[in-house]
Amino acid sequence: MAYINVEEGVPGIKSLALFRPETGKHLYQLAQVLLKGESPLSEAERELIAAYVSYKNNCMFCTNSHAAAARCLYADDKKIVDDVLTNMKQAAISDKMKALLHIAGKVQMLGKEVTAEDVAEARNFGANDREIHDTVLIAASFCMYNRYVDGLNSFTPADATPYEEMGKRMAEKGYVPPTPTRE
């Protein structure tokens, strides 16, 4: 049960955006820009970064929903998502993506953990400034989203089915703020 009076049974950040739509709309807009907007990183890669940081933060709602979106976007290669969450260093992703996820993992711990050497390694594997920037901003933003959802003990479904539906919706339609239901 959530720590504040939100609509019962509404999962994750959606319940919080419905509780306070004036802030929720901006959080959804930020997610839309970061995960669906123009970037040299694919939408699948950006969802993977969000899922990876959420996993490291132990935020099950965000991990499950963004991993589901990443699986949809990776399509036939969806196994990559679970492989990254199990053991990123052994996953069948590019060295560039491993270097970017390494940076994201350091941001998850503390932004100052990212070193010039980490950035140089990502560049050595072909990452450009925009990819590094977007990785850090996605990681930092998802630390905030994770803490928001978990800090208010937002409803986190235990069953995988709702996440599959969320992931498909996020992959196809993006991040649209929820509209309050009329009673």
- Weakly modelled stretches of the chain, pLDDT under 50: none
Q: Are 110 and 88 in contact (CB under 8 A)?
A: no
Phi then psi dihedrals of residue 26, to 5 deg = -75, -35
pLDDT tens-digit readout, 93-105 = 999 999 999 999 9
Q: What class has domain 13-95+138-173?
A: mainly alpha
Q: Quote the radius of gyration of the chain (alpha carbons, Å).
A: 16
Please report how the helices 12-19 and 21-36 are oriented relative to each other, as an axis angle in degrees rounded to 10: 140
